[in-house]
């Protein structure tokens, strides 16, 4: 097929999508949109702790192994999401009773078993996800409560011990709107680097809307790029219906604004992030009907590049243009 007509064909860095192994196995249109356009897979849910270690010491590799095998057969890479988060924590962990040593062992064992299992096949990981609150304070998650503020640094050390070649990322959301949070994450990244903690990159989730200011986006991406770390736009989706209106109407004006925001993101990324730091851009899901945004709020939206039948939307072409120019 003509590579000038696909996302990965025109991009100068990897293009990823968050993938659901059940959909991949059951829907041929999903599979073909993925294989044609993407060269990277992020594990949407299957590599979260509740899925990989649903019971203490019992690991379920089936779904993530399937994605890894699929990626290998199709010349794609896999970005692992996510080792330590305050969501998708299995019940046995929520209920776990133990002193800080026992908690440390639990956390270390999870990280090292998972990273070790995928050593050489999952070459990059979101090690810690969303550790900060909007006000810039550290989230008082179970990890924080039992292990203290420096648990983040130790997560990176444990992951690095298990696979010294893996690229290790800190991933967070909404830093584009929240200055206090953005500054706190930035300060932590600099601190980790100063201490020689093995961190290679930062994931900017980029769950934005057609209304998000492009100059704010530019400034925040530039700020993070100044750390010298790899920059991953890790969960890109763009809400059309940003006010969650119950009377939303899908007009041509909205479609154009959506396409132009996708184009802008690609151009900002290329303009602000040095080539050597361009880890890639990942879409959070493929088709509009797969999006987490639809289950999150019941209001109408069409946040992605493909429609519910995996046809390319105007926004697909907008994004492709931004990647090309």
**Which position among 12, 60, 62, 87 is part of the footprint of ligand G3I (CB under 6 A)?**
87
> 65: which strand partners?
none
Q: Closer to ligand G3I at the Cβ: 18 or 320?
A: 18
Degrees (nearest 5) of the Cα angle 49, 41, 47? 10
Shortest distance, position 85 Cβ to ligand G3I, whole Å:
7
On whether the CB atoms of residues 234 and 265 are closer than 8 A, the answer is no
Shortest distance, position 20 Cβ to ligand G3I, whole Å:
7
**Residues 6 or more apart in contact with residue 204 via CB below 8 angstroms:** 172, 175, 176, 220, 221, 224, 231, 232, 233, 234
Cα 35 vs. chain centroid, distance in angstroms?
Answer: 19
Shortest distance, position 325 Cβ to ligand G3I, whole Å:
29
- Residues within window 2-31 making contact with ligand G3I, judged by CB under 6 A: none
Question: Choosing from 214, 235, 300, 308, which is the catalytic residue?
Answer: 235
* Torsional sign, CA 283, 284, 287, 288: negative
Cβ-proximal residue to ligand G3I, closest one:
292
Count helices and strands in the chain by DSSP H and E runs: 14, 9
- Residues within window 187-206 making contact with ligand G3I, judged by CB under 6 A: 205
For position 63 contacting ligand G3I by CB under 6 A, the verdict is no
Catalytic annotation on 235?
Answer: yes
CA distance 308 to 258: 16
Shortest distance, position 44 Cβ to ligand G3I, whole Å:
5
**Residues 6 or more apart in contact with residue 157 via CB below 8 angstroms:** 197, 198
Count of chain residues binding ligand G3I (CB under 6 A): 10
Q: Closer to ligand G3I at the Cβ: 205 or 278?
A: 205
- Residues within window 33-52 making contact with ligand G3I, judged by CB under 6 A: 44-45, 48
- Residues within window 227-246 making contact with ligand G3I, judged by CB under 6 A: 235
The site string for ligand G3I over 169-188 (x = CB under 6 A, - otherwise) reads ----x---------------
SS3 state at 176: coil
Degrees (nearest 5) of the Cα angle 70, 73, 75? 100
Q: Closer to ligand G3I at the Cβ: 10 or 21?
A: 21
Cite the active site residues.
235
Site residues, ligand G3I (CB under 6 A): 44-45, 48, 87-88, 129, 173, 205, 235, 292
């Amino acid at each position: 097929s003509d590579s000038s007509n696909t996302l990965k064909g025109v991009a100068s860095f990897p293009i990823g999508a968050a993938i659901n192994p059940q959909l991949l196995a059951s829907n041929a249109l999903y599979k073909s949109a993925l294989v044609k356009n993407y060269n990277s897979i992020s594990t949407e849910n299957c590599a979260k702790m509740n899925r990989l270690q649903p019971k203490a010491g019992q690991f379920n590799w089936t779904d993530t192994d399937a994605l890894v095998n699929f990626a290998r057969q199709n010349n794609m890479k896999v970005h692992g999401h996510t080792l330590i988060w305050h969501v998708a924590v299995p019940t046995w962990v929520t209920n776990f009773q133990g002193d800080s040593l026992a908690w440390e062992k639990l956390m270390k064992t999870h990280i090292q078993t998972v990273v070790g299992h995928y050593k050489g096949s999952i070459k990059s990981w979101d090690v810690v996800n969303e550790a900060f609150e909007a006000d810039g304070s550290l989230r008082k998650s179970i990890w924080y409560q039992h292990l203290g503020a420096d648990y983040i640094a130790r997560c990176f050390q444990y992951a690095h011990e298990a696979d010294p070649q893996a690229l290790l990322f800190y991933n967070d959301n909404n830093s584009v709107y929240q200055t206090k949070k953005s500054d706190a994450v930035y300060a932590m990244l600099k601190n980790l680097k100063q201490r020689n903690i093995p961190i290679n990159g930062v994931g900017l989730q980029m769950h934005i809307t057609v209304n998000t200011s492009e100059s704010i986006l530019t400034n925040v991406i530039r700020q993070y790029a100044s750390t010298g770390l790899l920059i991953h736009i890790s969960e890109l989706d763009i809400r059309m219906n940003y006010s969650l209106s119950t009377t939303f109407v899908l007009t041509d004006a909205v479609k154009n604004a959506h396409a132009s925001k996708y184009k802008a993101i690609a151009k900002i990324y290329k303009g602000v992030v040095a080539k050597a730091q361009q880890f890639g851009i990942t879409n959070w899901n493929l088709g509009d009907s797969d999006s987490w945004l639809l289950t999150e709020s019941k209001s109408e939206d069409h946040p992605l590049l493909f429609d519910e039948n995996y046809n390319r939307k105007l926004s697909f072409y907008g994004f492709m243009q931004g990647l090309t120019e």
